[in-house]
Structure 1
Amino acid sequence: MTEKTLVIEHEEMLRQAMLTSNVKALDELIDHDLIFVNHFGQVLKKEADLEAHRSGVVNFTAITVTEQRVKLLDLSAITVTRVSLEGNAGADSIEEEMCYTRVWQYIDGKLKIISAIADPLNNLEKVSKFETDINKRTPCKRVSLLLLAEGRAANLLQRKWNECFWIETGNR
């Protein structure tokens, strides 16, 4: 089995766990130091994500993958997955297209999610504007979206990653 296939299998295990609110499986797939930025821009930790499933606040009835890309790194991988979501979040109905960018890393011999960003797909129209803005050194708010653009985006992301960090933190 290739590394890429293994990552895709873990993405599928995650999708199934989210669909069934299988907190045990989610707990095994998500690192205890998870940093998750939801589609509202809120930074959540692992326990908040698990509790949303445990309590039933988040209930997915369908998660359909429409596109998935995997970028393998040394001991980690980045996935960018477009999905169509259906379900409920509290009293609100969910029916939207989302893009999840996840960083998977080997921890104690197991692949775990260490970071994730959820972004509504209606932001994808901003990719080319963002690509222009990033070259002008503006904050890298939507770095994950670059991976969904043409192949040149991955190279742009690698070249600009340190600059993005410096811009966001003010460190040089």
Structure 2
Amino acid sequence: MTTRDDRGRSIDQAQDALHQAMRGGDVSHLRELLYEGLAFELPGESVVGRAADLDAHASGATRFDKLSELHRSTLEHDGHGRTSSLVDIVVFDRGHRIEARMSYRRFWSIIEGRWQVVAGSAEPFA
């Protein structure tokens, strides 16, 4: 059975909303979807938190021109879950254009009545 948050969203619908917010640089929606204590591991083993991620989107330092999900697997139970997805991206990161196929893993929990990303990672798909 699919767990829904107070807004009626499944974990997959929350992930879709996250991708849409990333594509649009929508900091308001990203703020709703990212847990305050977020720890997200980037390629090269650096870890960013929610504030740094939101700042990067708000300032334009990070801007997605393309984010196309090719595959997703989802596991969830009782308000907690994981999404793993394969994504083609074109992102501008501090002025550098990056085009890559990435593997994203996100861990979600329903917090304050809504699905939020609590941790995750992104790495190039080999």
Give TM-score scaled by structure 1 length. Answer: 0.67
Given that 2:109 and 2:117 are in contact with CA atoms closer than 8 Å, whether structure 1 keeps it comes out as yes
Larger RCO, structure (CA 8 Å, separation 6 or more): 2
- Inter-partner Cα distance in structure 2 for 1:87 and 1:40: 17
Q: For residues 8 and 73 of structure 1, what CA distance do their matches in structure 2 show? A: 13
Quick one: which amino acid aligns to residue 2 of structure 1? T
Q: Structure 1 residue 3: deviation in Å? A: 3.1
Instruction: Tell me the residue number matched to 1:16.
Output: 20
> Which residue is equivalent to 1:33?
37
- Identify the residue that residue 101 of structure 2 maps to in structure 1: 97
Q: Deviations over 1:122-172 (max 9, x none)?
A: 2xxxxxxxxxxxxxxxxxxxxxxxxxxxxxxxxxxxxxxxxxxxxxxxxxx
Moved >2 Å (runs of 4+) = 1-5
RMSD of aligned residue pairs (Cα, Å):
1.6
- The answer to which structure has the higher helix fraction is 1
- The Cα offsets for residues 91-124 of structure 1, whole Å up to 9 and x where unpaired, read as 21110000110011011211111001111102xx
SS in 2 for 1:41: coil
Shift of 1:17: 0.4
More strand by share: 2
Work out which of the two has the higher radius of gyration on C-alpha atoms and give 1 or 2: 1
Distance in 1 between the 2:37 and 2:28 partners?
A: 16
**Mapping of residues 5-154 of structure 1, within 5 Å:** 6-122=10-126
Q: Distance in 2 between matches of 1:110 and 1:97?
A: 29
- CA distance in 1 between partners of 2:16 and 2:79 (Å): 20
CA contact (8 A) 2:101 2:125 kept: yes
The unaligned stretches of length 5 or more in structure 2 are none
